[in-house]
Structure 1
Amino acid sequence: MDPRSNPFAPGAGSRPPELAGRDEVMELIAIQLDRLRRGRAARHHLLVGLRGVGKTVLLDEMARRAEANQFVTVRLETPENRSLPSMLVPTLRSALLRLDRGQAALTKAKRALSALRNFASAFRLEMGEASFGVVPAEPGVADSGDLDLDLSDLLCLVGEAAQERGAGLALMIDELQYVPENDLGALIAALHRAGQLQLPVALVGAGLPQLYGLFGRAKSYSERLFIFNEIGPLDKASARQALIKPVQQEGVEFRENAVERVIDLTQGYPYFLQQWGAQVWNVAQKSPITRKDVSEADPLARAELDASFFRVRFDRLTPRERQYLRAMADLGDGPQRSGDVAERIERTTSQCGPVRDSLIRKGMIYSSEHGLMDFTVPLFADFMRRAMPDLEID
Structure 2
Amino acid sequence: MDTLLVMDPRTNPFAPGAGTPPPELAGREHLLEAASIAVDRLAGQLNSRGMVFYGLRGVGKTVLLQQMRLNASAAGYVTVPIEAPENRSLPSILLPALRATIIKNSTGAAAKAKFRDLLGVLASFAKAVKVKYDDVEVVLDVAPTLGIADSGDLESDLCSLFLELGKVAADQSTMVAIYIDELQFVSELELAALISALHQISQQRLPVTLFAAGLPQLLGQLGKAKSYAERLFDFQEIGSLDRPAAANALTIPAGQQAVEFDAPALEHILDETKCYPYFIQEWGQHAWQIAPTSPITLSDAKATTESAIAHLDSSFFRVRFDRLTPQEKRYMRAMAELGPGAHRSGDVAEVLSRSVQSLGPCRSSLIKKGMAYSASHGDIAFTVPLFEGFMKRTMDLVID
Tell me the TM-score normalised to structure 1 length. Answer: 0.96
Match of 1:280, SS state, is helix
Work out the percentage of aligned pairs sharing the same amino acid: 53
Alpha-carbon distance in structure 2 between the residues aligned to 1:250 and 1:106: 48
Match in the other structure for 1:337? 344
Match in the other structure for 1:54? 60
Cα contact 1:99–1:165 (8 A) shared by 2 = no
Q: For 1:250, which of 257, 260, 264 is the aligned residue?
A: 257
Task: Say whether 1:360 aligns with 2:355.
Answer: no
Match of 1:190, SS state, is helix
- Report the residue type matching 2:145 in the other structure: E
1:104 is displaced (CA, Å) by 4.1
Task: Say whether 1:128 aligns with 2:128.
Answer: no
Match in the other structure for 1:22? 28
Task: Say whether 1:7 aligns with 2:18.
Answer: no
Q: For 1:151, which of 154, 158, 163 is the aligned residue?
A: 158
1:102 is displaced (CA, Å) by 4.4
1:59-99 Cα distance to aligned partner (Å, 9 max, x none): 11001001012221111111111000011111101111123
List runs of 5+ in structure 1 lacking aligned partners.
none
Tell me the TM-score normalised to structure 2 length. Answer: 0.95
1:101 is displaced (CA, Å) by 2.0
1:203-226 Cα distance to aligned partner (Å, 9 max, x none): 000001101110011001001101
Alpha-carbon distance in structure 2 between the residues aligned to 1:243 and 1:106: 47
Matching of residues 236-385 of structure 1 within 5 Å: 236-385=243-392
Task: Say whether 1:203 aligns with 2:210.
Answer: yes
Match in the other structure for 2:78? 72
Match of 1:46, SS state, is strand
Alpha-carbon distance in structure 2 between the residues aligned to 1:100 and 1:194: 22
1:369 is displaced (CA, Å) by 2.3
1:151 is displaced (CA, Å) by 0.4
Cα contact 2:106–2:112 (8 A) shared by 1 = no
Matching of residues 93-132 of structure 1 within 5 Å: 93-104=99-110, 107-124=113-130, 125-129=136-140, 132=141
Decide which moves more: 353-362 or 136-145. Answer: 136-145
What count of residue pairs does the alignment treat as equivalent? 389
Alpha-carbon distance in structure 2 between the residues aligned to 1:212 and 1:284: 42
Cα contact 1:32–1:44 (8 A) shared by 2 = yes
1:199 is displaced (CA, Å) by 1.0
Match in the other structure for 2:184? 177
Match in the other structure for 1:187? 194
Cα contact 1:233–1:268 (8 A) shared by 2 = yes
1:167 is displaced (CA, Å) by 1.5
- Report the residue type matching 1:114 in the other structure: G
- Report the residue type matching 1:262 in the other structure: I
1:243-275 Cα distance to aligned partner (Å, 9 max, x none): 100111001111111100000000000000000
Alpha-carbon distance in structure 2 between the residues aligned to 1:184 and 1:368: 20
Task: Say whether 1:213 aligns with 2:213.
Answer: no
- Report the residue type matching 1:298 in the other structure: T
Match in the other structure for 1:83? 89
Alpha-carbon distance in structure 2 between the residues aligned to 1:290 and 1:105: 59
List runs of 5+ in structure 2 lacking aligned partners.
1-6, 131-135
1:31 is displaced (CA, Å) by 0.9
